[in-house]
A and B are shown apart, each in its own frame.
Chain A
């Protein structure tokens, strides 16, 4: 019997600009970029110099603090440029891609019939380990750890997000193979969260503990699933991984090739309708290779509107992103916008707008802050967006104060920034809740480890 996770608190945000359910091959991206900042806290050590010839699967850089945390090239080609910032910090490693990808051959391996240690060794030595993220802190998994469980959420409840089911439809076999490999990494269970409503093939996946999810966002967040099944305690480690990356692992074990294919969905009201669909491309590819038709003065977000990162139209999509959201910028003034019950076309979870009368209305959102940052005054609204048994305002205040003991007591290990995305969205005082949590987690890393 699957575990049933039903969430009541949270918010289902209906936005305009949904994508069609069709998948297309994107134009070939001439270059791809690997950005160390996509792997939080990772300090890269380069193994290659500019001009080096590489195959897909060749190591590009590894973590200064753990040489088993490796990032490998998603394409074959020439290492074109290493972009550095202040203090020679590596910002981007840009690889010029060949027309036809040449793969490094890792040989095939059947994870179910192999020793656990060999499976783990292969995952980390061939750069697949970078897909695994560790909770607490949401940082790259440490190869020397054995997590108490591994969590995969194949139901993204965030607004305008990709359907994992659609993306993985043709890769069911690889996905299963990837799951088989993951079971060798943990002494505990591998959890797979799926939408309770849909009759997806994901419900038939073997060797997992199935979680059926229902309720508004953040029901599908991994943090919610962990909290509802095996909540994190001090000192424990859990790994998480995106479903598409499970399939990449499965394919590499099967074929011996690191096929870094990424299906990205283009969504958002500022992307033109004919551009809003799924594109098959490569991890880290140029945004312009699939985003061709969009409004001026819009924001391009690698990821969803709640947690994504702002990128430029000539930039590259983030390593983990499977969504590219384009929404209008909101850099305009709005007269008397603070009057209650005015401007009801802007969504509000608060009842000081009439938008709650139309729960199914789809909203055209922009990036306006709709106010200014203020001291925290209103209480009770954060709790409405927090399905976990965590006191959100108190935890945020503990993080702001840098009170480590209090942060620990109030459950900092159980959360990552994305769990506070809705708190940030609905907050009357416009505080940057996700950044506060991220800073709190970073403080915990340095002080507690």
Chain B
């Protein structure tokens, strides 16, 4: 291990301050710190520090994404072959999906990290680890057949406009991965919605149709999948959003490691269930409703992107509400609006993307009122005091 260290120090030599490649230090440091936690020590104050750092936190999220990713790869192949009337072996299905999805991940990381490195060098700060998660999330929420150049453009848009324009990691208002998806959604609608895109090769092979459940419901068609299929995720959809089972596994990792706030996830589910129940009750109130409003509320929780969004996107600490009370309000509102957009807006059969982006925008406002509450308590105490002494 020592000789590796020596070798790295040798390679790093030209990048040290005062040497000619000094400007590119953040890039070489980013690579080095992936091998070794550096020898930096505390200067004062707390002389000891916790073992946790941002790398560890971000890698934990990547770990939590793995079940949904693996399942997504398999499901992409499985949907493809079953639509063709074949019964693929696990590996065959997985390889078909991997063949489609791995290039997307490679493009996303290459383009996104390239930009992150460039900005780190330009601004002279270290490379932040946030993109490790964003870069994996972006392909996971895209339809499987999206062209690679669209992935690249979406990534560029998300990193430049969604993140760096606001000052980089920690300063962005919108979730970068959802910004990428929203960009693709509005820029290339034919690749992002409809009923010919959700199953691999559906647009090329006529016998494959593969509509999503929400799409069928919006068109007032019969849904042929049962609840077990919806929950395990053997249904068409964006790559990794389909399996609520795998998402729950990821959610458990995030909640147990406390990397994601359980408050947001729980309140989001409560909000969505409440809206679902309300819409389900419409017929009893004399309103007819549509296929989506009459879809049982518990099914709303396990189809579409809701589960994936609330677990992996709404919990992004930078774009979510940051106060404890704020997180409850933020989560409930995401749940409510996600199902509301999903059911009542015919143009967007999936609502979670827009509802999270909407609440990202309102999160600072929610926090503002929570903070005001804390300030008011303090002011009240001061007023009471002045009254007493006066």
Contact = CB atoms under 8 A, between A and B. Distances in A.
A and B are interacting partners: yes
Interface of A: 231, 233-234, 236, 299, 301, 305-310, 325, 327, 329-340, 343, 346-353, 355, 365-381, 383, 389-391, 393-394, 409-411, 417, 421-422, 424-430, 432-435
Interface string B1-42: 100110000000000000000000000000001111111111
A184 B316 CA distance: 54
Nearest to B130: A377
Given A335-B36, A339-B59, A425 B48 contact: yes
Q: Which 4 A-B pairs have the closest CB atoms?
A: A371-B53, A375-B170, A337-B37, A338-B55
A425 B38 contact: no
A425 B53 contact: no
Given A233-B381, A350-B52, A377 B170 contact: yes
A297 B37 CA distance: 19
Contact of A370 (B34, B49, B320, B385): B49
A432 B371 contact: no
Contacts of B283: none
Given A337-B36, A367-B41, A327 B48 contact: yes
A327 B48 CA distance: 9
A370 B60 contact: no
Contact of B46 (A337, A368, A390, A424): A424
B375 A368 contact: no
Interface stretch (B136-144, B178-186, B253-261): B253-261
Interface in B337-390: 371, 374-375, 377-379, 381-382, 385
Contact of B52 (A367, A370, A432): A370
A435 B261 CA distance: 28
B169 A430 contact: no
Given A379-B317, A427-B50, A432-B45, A352 B257 contact: yes
B42 A369 contact: yes
Given A333-B37, A374-B128, A430 B324 contact: no
19 contacts: A236-B385, A305-B47, A306-B46, A310-B44, A329-B41, A330-B39, A333-B36, A334-B37, A338-B33, A340-B56, A353-B51, A368-B41, A377-B318, A378-B54, A378-B57, A394-B322, A409-B379, A428-B52, A430-B49
Contact of A426 (B50, B57, B129): B50
Contacts of A332: 39
A425 B51 CA distance: 9
A331 B39 CA distance: 4
Contacts of B257: 340, 350-352
Looking at B50, B371, B379, the one whose CB has the most chain A CB atoms below 10 A away is B50
A372 B49 CA distance: 11
Given A339-B59, A424-B46, 4 more contacts: A233-B381, A306-B47, A374-B129, A379-B322
B375 to A, nearest CB: 4
Contact of A353 (B52, B126, B168): B52
A335 B4 CA distance: 10
A268 to B, nearest CB: 10
Interface string B98-117: 00000000000000000000
A343 B51 contact: yes
A167 B375 CA distance: 41
B223 interface: no
Contacts of B280: none
Interface in B60-93: 60, 63
Contacts of A433: 45
A367 B42 contact: yes
B323 interface: yes
Interface residues of B, number: 60
B50 A370 contact: yes
A449 B128 CA distance: 39
Contacts of B49: 368-371, 424-425, 430
Contact of A435 (B36, B38, B44, B50): B44
Nearest to A365: B48
A371 B54 CA distance: 8
- Interface of chain A: mostly helix, strand, loop or mixed: loop
A440 B15 CA distance: 35
Contacts of B379: 409
A424 B375 CA distance: 23
B169 A374 contact: yes
A435 B45 contact: yes
B1 A335 contact: yes
Nearest to B375: A409
Looking at B34, B53, B60, B170, the one whose CB has the most chain A CB atoms below 10 A away is B53
A428 B54 contact: yes
A325 B42 CA distance: 15
Contact of A394 (B128, B129, B371): B371
Contacts of B42: 367-369
B282 interface: no
Interface string B323-340: 110010000000000000
A335 B41 contact: no
B65 to A, nearest CB: 13
B171 interface: yes
Contacts of A333: 5, 36-39
Contact of A367 (B35, B47, B63): B47
B54 A377 contact: yes
Contact of A231 (B35, B63, B381): B381
A335 to B, nearest CB: 5
Given A335-B1, A352-B257, A411 B47 contact: no
B56 A368 contact: no
Contacts of A306: 45-48
Given A367-B41, A367-B42, A380 B317 contact: yes
Contact of B317 (A377, A417, A422): A377
A334 B256 CA distance: 25
A355 B56 CA distance: 14
A330 B57 CA distance: 22
Nearest to A398: B371
B287 to A, nearest CB: 40
B168 A375 contact: yes
Contacts of A393: 322
A377 B169 contact: yes
Contact of B55 (A309, A348, A371, A409): A371
A350 B317 contact: no
Given A367-B48, A391-B371, A426-B52, A374 B126 contact: yes
Given A333-B38, A391-B323, A374 B54 contact: yes
A88 B272 CA distance: 67
Looking at B39, B52, B327, B374, the one whose CB has the most chain A CB atoms below 10 A away is B52
